[in-house]
Chains A and B, each alone.
Chain A
Amino acid sequence: DTGVSQDPRHKITKRGQNVTFRCDPISEHNRLYWYRQTLGQGPEFLTYFQNEAQLEKSRLLSDRFSAERPKGSFSTLEIQRTEQGDSAMYLCASSPGGLGGRSADTQYFGPGTRLTVL
């Protein structure tokens, strides 16, 4: 299977703990996105990478959140000092990236990591 994969699929943690999620994009996809989705809502953008460079972060991404994509391949999203409000599905998506200039890219989503903070 060459789709986007995420690990773990489910994570239950206690308030105040740190958690880290991993995303493996479709190989050779330049762009990688992290979203958060809560019940009854569409995906909310968190951050975006073009290769290893983090190009944009949402205001939703507090200083407790950090994301990396060290070699331009897989990415990790870490949440420090988790709060109950962090409970959500965290989705990763990747896209091929344009050849240059602006292009609207098709995003391919992974299965998500469901986080529950007790």
Chain B
Amino acid sequence: QQPVQSPQAVILREGEDAVINCSSSKALYSVHWYRQKHGEAPVFLMILLKGGEQMRHEKISASFNEKKQQSSLYLTASQLSYSGTYFCGTEISGGSYIPTFGRGTSLIVHP
């Protein structure tokens, strides 16, 4: 039931855009997005609920396609501070309150 994230890694120059995808084999109730920097705890970015709207956090936005059972995270005009590993966590419809996390997408932003 672990969601699949793609790509595994992204290398960007400052100012470029990136898309990170998260897909599930099960119908989803919600998708959580976190960013984790090396040696630190995951930090919450946003949560998308079934039937909800696209969310935005500064220049980062996300969408949730319930039919395709997937979510995408869009990073616009990336900044150096965006570097880190991005995890999606998915809650299955009819399941518990606990998200299952993907293996992460490593994002490196160069000057």
**Contact residues in A for B58 (Cβ distance below 8 Å):** none
Question: Number of residue pairs across A and B with beta carbons under 8 Å?
Answer: 58
**Nearest B-chain residue to A58, judged by Cβ:** B98
**CB of A21 closer than 8 Å to a CB of B:** no
Collect the chain B residues with CB atoms within 8 Å of residue A112's CB: 41
Interface check A2, CB cutoff 8 A: no
The chain B residue with its CB closest to the CB of A44 is B101
Residues of A contacting B: mostly: loop
The residues of B that contact A103 with a CB separation of less than 8 Å are 97
Count contacts on B: residues with CB < 8 A to the other chain.
24
Cβ distance B21 to chain A, nearest Cβ, rounded Å = 15
Q: Please choose the segment from A35-43, A62-70, A77-85 that sits at the chain B interface, where 4 or more of its residues have CB less than 8 A away.
A: A35-43
- Given A48-B97, A112-B41, answer yes or no on A104-B103 (Cβ-Cβ < 8 Å): no
Tally A residues with Cβ within 8 Å of B.
Answer: 26
Interface residues of B (CB under 8 A from A): 2, 29-30, 32, 34, 40-44, 47, 49, 87, 89, 91, 96-104
